[in-house]
């Protein structure tokens, strides 16, 4: 089997599972992974015969992809903020809108002076947010990241080690307020918490429902703002007076999250993602309420 025929066969196997463009992108990703060759190199070497072990690897990858298992889990890798991260079923696959949240923090880093201050990431998953912030903000940023899942923390630590990012990972159930006692005051809190209501499952694909960790995705319909409320409560004692909170949100809950933080005495700035959806917010204290809330 030649490189060209292998690529054509893989894309054909995927065409009934994915849109044409997505199938092509997945095919390119897989072929680069198994051959180590970029697209232009594969075009130049399209008549090259693939070794039997590579053909066997492709067959196994194709089999897994046809079960709707995300390509990121099949290959054990994904890209975030220009860096390669290891991922498995214990962590969510990082999304582009989360990169936008990281970029927003970095954009305002000079004004917020977070480069030399303390940051907290709530719900680390793969570690993509704290690691990207550490790499972008520099060595003077002190970043702590917490998660309820020990398995996720192992993935995050593996990524931090591979990427040379000094992040402190802690095993904490953030919903349990008793776990907050040992945490210090932070100048910036960042989080992409669970925010999908259980009733929204029917609109989601098998690749998400069957493989990504539900604990990192879903909240009860009757308490959809659970994590945002806990972060607001935590910030009353653990956010510096001039500190900020950056959050990723459910596009349908922008009004609700805004009203929640307003009720705590915070001012909220909503920001749309590149798709034009309300997906992130910056929160800070109204000056006149700082003493009361903090």
What is the reported pLDDT for 195? 93
Residue 194 has pLDDT above 70, yes or no: yes
- Provide the pLDDT confidence category of residue 288 given band limits of 50, 70 and 90: very low
Residue 248 within a domain: yes
pLDDT in tens, 44-86: 999 999 999 999 999 999 999 999 999 999 999 999 999 999 9
Distance, CA of 197 to CA of 100 (rounded, Å): 23
By the 8 A CB rule, do 9 and 65 touch?
no
Q: What's the rounded mean pLDDT across residues 181-199?
A: 94
Instruction: Give the three-state DSSP class for 265.
Output: coil
- Provide the pLDDT confidence category of residue 16 given band limits of 50, 70 and 90: confident
Residues 61, 109: one domain? no
Distance, CA of 224 to CA of 219 (rounded, Å): 5
Name the nearest CA neighbour of 132 among 89, 90, 98. Answer: 98
Residue 294 has pLDDT above 90, yes or no: no
Residues 161, 271: one domain? yes
CB atoms within 10 A of CB 260: 18
Domain end marker among 16, 38, 66: 66
Residue 47 within a domain: yes
3-state helix, strand, coil in the chain (%, to 5): 50, 20, 30
Residues 116, 151: one domain? yes
In 86-210, where do the E strands start and end? 118-122, 142-147, 168-171, 186-191, 196-197
**Burial class of residue 221 (count of CB atoms within 10 Å of its CB; 0-12, 13-18, 19+):** exposed
Residue 72 within a domain: no
Residues 90, 52: one domain? no
Report angle CA 137, 158, 174 to the nearest 5 degrees.
Answer: 75
* Beta-strand pair 83-85/142-147: unpaired
- Provide the pLDDT confidence category of residue 286 given band limits of 50, 70 and 90: low
- How many domains does the chain contain in total? 2
Q: What is the CATH number of the domain that holds 176?
A: 3.40.50.150
Distance, CA of 121 to CA of 118 (rounded, Å): 10
Residue 112 within a domain: yes
Residues 270, 233: one domain? yes
Q: What global pTM score does this model have?
A: 0.92
Q: Which structural domain, as residue segments, surrounds residue 32?
A: 3-66
By the 8 A CB rule, do 171 and 150 touch?
yes
Instruction: Give the three-state DSSP class for 37.
Output: coil
C-beta pairs of 168-172 under 8 Å, 24+ apart in sequence:
168/142, 168/143, 168/144, 169/124, 169/127, 169/144, 169/145, 170/144, 170/145, 170/146, 171/146, 171/147, 172/146, 172/147, 172/148
Report angle CA 86, 119, 212 to the nearest 5 degrees.
Answer: 30
Instruction: Give the three-state DSSP class for 163.
Output: helix
Residues 230, 264: one domain? yes
Q: What's the rounded mean pLDDT across residues 22-51?
A: 94
Residues 46, 187: one domain? no
Residues 146, 16: one domain? no
By the 8 A CB rule, do 125 and 150 touch?
no
Lowest mean per-residue pLDDT among 106-120, 213-227, 231-245: 106-120
What is the reported pLDDT for 138? 87
C-beta pairs of 67-75 under 8 Å, 24+ apart in sequence:
68/17, 68/205, 68/206, 68/207, 68/210, 68/211, 69/207, 69/210, 69/211, 70/207, 70/208, 70/211, 70/212, 71/26, 71/29, 71/30, 73/211, 74/30, 75/29, 75/30, 75/33
pLDDT in tens, 114-133: 555 899 999 999 999 999 99
CB atoms within 10 A of CB 173: 12
What is the reported pLDDT for 291? 41
């Amino acid at each position: 089997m030649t490189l060209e025929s292998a690529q054509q066969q893989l894309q054909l196997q995927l065409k009934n599972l994915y849109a044409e463009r997505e199938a092509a992108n997945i095919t390119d990703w897989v072929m680069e992974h198994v051959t180590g060759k970029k697209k232009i190199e594969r075009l130049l070497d399209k008549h090259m015969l693939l070794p039997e072990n590579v053909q066997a690897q492709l067959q196994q990858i194709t089999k897994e992809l046809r079960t709707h298992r995300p390509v990121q889990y099949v290959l054990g890798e994904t890209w975030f903020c220009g860096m390669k991260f290891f991922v498995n079923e214990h962590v969510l696959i990082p999304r582009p809108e989360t990169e936008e949240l990281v970029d927003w923090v970095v954009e305002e880093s000079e004004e917020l002076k977070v480069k030399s201050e303390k940051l907290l990431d709530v719900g680390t998953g793969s570690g993509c947010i704290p690691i990207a912030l550490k790499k972008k903000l520099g060595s003077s940023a002190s970043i702590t990241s917490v998660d309820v899942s020990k398995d996720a923390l192992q993935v995050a630590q593996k990524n931090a080690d591979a990427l040379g990012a000094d992040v402190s990972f802690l095993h904490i159930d953030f919903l349990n307020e008793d776990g907050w006692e040992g945490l210090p005051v932070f100048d910036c809190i960042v989080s992409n918490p669970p925010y999908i209501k259980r009733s929204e499952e029917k609109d989601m694909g098998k690749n998400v429902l069957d493989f990504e960790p539900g604990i990192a995705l879903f909240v009860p319909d009757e308490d959809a703002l659970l994590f945002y409320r806990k972060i607001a409560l935590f910030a009353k004692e653990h956010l510096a007076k001039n500190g900020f909170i950056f959050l990723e949100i459910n596009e349908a809950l922008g009004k609700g999250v805004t009203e929640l933080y307003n009720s705590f005495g915070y001012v909220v700035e909503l920001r749309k993602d590149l798709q034009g959806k309300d997906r992130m917010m910056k929160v800070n204290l109204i000056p006149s309420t700082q003493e009361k809330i903090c």
